[in-house]
Structure 1
Amino acid sequence: MRYQLTRRVVLGVYAVLIVVPILVVVLGSFKTSAGLFDSPFGLPTDWQGGNYSTIVGDSGLGVAFRNSVVVTGLSVPITLFLASLASYGIARTTGWRSGLLFGFIVLGMAVPAQANMIPQYVQFETFGLTDSLLGLVLINVVVTMPIAVFIMTGFLKTLPKELFEAAAVDGSGPWRTYRSVVVPVSVPSLSATAIFLFVIHWNDLLYPLLFIQDPDKRTIPVALLSFQGEFLTNYPLLFTGVVVASAPIVIAYVFLQRYFVAGITAGAVKG
């Protein structure tokens, strides 16, 4: 009984710590600057829906939103496709070679992104990929490939060998087995991995800030920085931008939350 009470108190405090800042941001997006500072936790006395029209039109966040959609919309499926192929190969490889391939790929998770920034920038500038949405797509794919392989390999290694043996008996080659067997049964793992990748790519600030100088090619995280000044910050407009930027992630998680949990479980399986 005491454990249950303690657990509920801890969860209640945690919920308050999560919910209150969200309410402040959402309600603050409908306030003026004066109204926000006068009553940061209260309801708006004069609801300012114009903040959203300003964000979408005058602030240029609409263009940044489009750029984020393009970059994320290309990065996620490309990473999923390549990572699923790599995970399938690792899962079907026997002996020490499987562990070596898996360790080599996921080793990228241990290398801090900041350690590679200078050589990556020099390389991308050499190939003319700086200040380009294509460059952002390529760097996103490369950087997030290890975590995608980590999650999907854990899932594919739990599949029974009889499933692949039955496909081989039916005359299926590696590509047909991947297309007709692996992809259909891996929908939960693919969906969960897609959520992880979507959140990472959509919220990425480091690489767009490093590679993009053209204001028309900024993504949402970089565009939100423009609402912060050295001496003055328009917090209601900034909160509105945060709400708009977070909406796709919230919608995706609401509809795919069961796959999100499945992805955590799949990634925790020991191969």
Structure 2
Amino acid sequence: MVTSKSEVLVGRIILIVVLVLTLLPLLGMLSAALQSPDRLPTGLAWPTNPHWENFVTAFTVGHVWVLLGSSLLIVVVVVPVSLLFATLAGYALGNLRVRGGRVVLVAMVLGLTIPFEAIIIPLYYQITSYGLLNTQWAIILPLIGLYMPFGVFWMRAHFIGVPRELSEAARVDGAGVLQEFRRIQIPLARPALSALGILLFLWTWNQFLLPLVLVDDPDKRTMAGALGAFQGQYIDALPLLFAAALIVMLPTIIIYVIFQRQFIGALLQGAVKG
């Protein structure tokens, strides 16, 4: 397929427009974060005397080091466990075609339609009955369950696209289900696993509602969840609030920049299969 110069030019213009629209909010937040703490930021204007110390203040007052440890603990548990369960279930539904798999798949699709906000009240009482309120487990366990519908659906979409001839050839060579899964299916699923892992990391790191409702101690929340307490304490100091928001966003931006090739590769792989 030959692409004309006009199509290339239009594509580049669209990319530039999207890039500008993406960077403008970040630049606006940065300019607001560098204003004087006692000043109300207005518009996109670079301050004549940037207050870089706002980031130090937000870092110190917001207990960022403590929140980093709490967020990392939650991410380190939620992401691997969710990947494990989603991969096993996706393999069973997409490759093994287990009995009753359609019913499970329909349940997973229905689970995709349930927003977090709809179950937050019953979830609060359930976590309270387990004695896990105000602990990191009050965030970890619900997130693993809430991520399952999407994770299983994502991995099933990958495994269902793997040629069945590979499984049949492995069985002929004497490989069992676990051997085939470990030696053949998992290496082929690395792009899908990488993309899913990135999504789960971003969603967990930026999780705001569950930590805010289920954990009273801000130091036990995720960084995004603790931003609510910071906002309530420094509602009049908007530059500090913008600085804290940028600190929270920084790790997600770094992770996406580092692993963007794997993420885009998995999306393109899915598009080709589709």
TM-score bracket for the superposition, by shorter chain length: 0.7 to 0.9
Q: Please report the TM-score for the alignment, with normalisation by the length of structure 1.
A: 0.87
- Tell me if 1:26 matches 2:37: no
Instruction: Tell me which residue corresponds to 1:112.
Output: 115
**Offset of 1:57 from its aligned partner?**
2.1
Q: Do the aligned residues in 2 keep the contact of 1:78 with 1:141 (CA within 8 Å)?
A: yes
Gaps of 5+ in 1: none
Aligned-residue offset at 1:147: 0.7
Counterparts in 2 of 1:178 and 1:237: CA distance versus 1, 3 Å: same
Q: 1:61 to 1:105 in 2, by over 3 A?
A: same
For the Cα contact (< 8 Å) 1:106–1:149, is it kept in 2? no
Q: 148-157 or 24-33, which moves further after superposition? A: 24-33
Match of 2:167 in 1: 164
The root-mean-square deviation of aligned C-alpha atoms, in Å, is 2.8
Are the counterparts in 1 of residues 219 and 226 from structure 2 also a CA contact under 8 Å? no
Between 112-121 and 246-255, report the one with greater CA deviation.
112-121
Using the alignment, how far apart are the partners of 1:221 and 1:188 within structure 2?
28
Tell me which amino acid in the other structure corresponds to 1:104.
Answer: A
Output the CA distance in 2 between the equivalents of 1:117 and 1:269: 38
**CA distance 1:268–1:236, change in 2 (3 Å):** same
Q: Deviations over 1:173-226 (max 9, x none)?
A: 222222222211111000000111111111111111121012331221222123
User: Does 1:89 find its partner at 2:92?
Assistant: yes
Structure 2 match to 1:214: 217
Q: Which moved more, 1:197-206 or 1:174-183?
A: 174-183
**Which deviates further from its counterpart, 85-94 or 220-229?**
220-229
Mapped partners of 1:119, 1:153: distance in 2: 29
Q: Identify the range of structure 1 (112-121 vs 71-80) with the bigger mean alpha-carbon deviation.
A: 112-121
- 2:144 matched residue in structure 1: 141
Structure 2: 5+ residue stretches without partners:
none
Alpha-carbon distance in structure 2 between the residues aligned to 1:162 and 1:219: 45
Deviation digits for residues 43-71 of structure 1, max 9, x if unmatched? 33223232222222233233222211111
Q: In structure 2, what is the Cα distance between the partners aligned to 1:106 and 1:263? A: 21
TM-score when scaled to structure 2? 0.86
Query: Is the 8 Å Cα contact of residues 136 and 220 (structure 2) preserved in structure 1?
Result: yes
Structure 2 CA distance for partners of 1:180 and 1:11, relative to 1, 3 Å: closer
User: Given the alignment, which residue of 40, 46, 49 partners 2:49?
Assistant: 46
Deviation of residue 143 (structure 1)?
0.3
Q: How many pairs were matched up? A: 270
Amino acid at match of 2:171: A
Q: Kindly tell me: are residues 7 and 186 of structure 1, through their superposed partners in 2, closer, same or farther at Cα, counting changes over 3 Å?
A: closer
Query: In structure 2, how many angstroms separate the alpha carbons of the residues matched to 1:231 and 1:33?
Result: 10
Please give the alpha-carbon distance, in whole angstroms, between the structure 2 residues aligned to 1:221 and 1:228: 11
Q: 1:122 to 1:268 in 2, by over 3 A?
A: farther
> Given residue 215 of structure 2, which amino acid in structure 1 is its aligned partner?
I
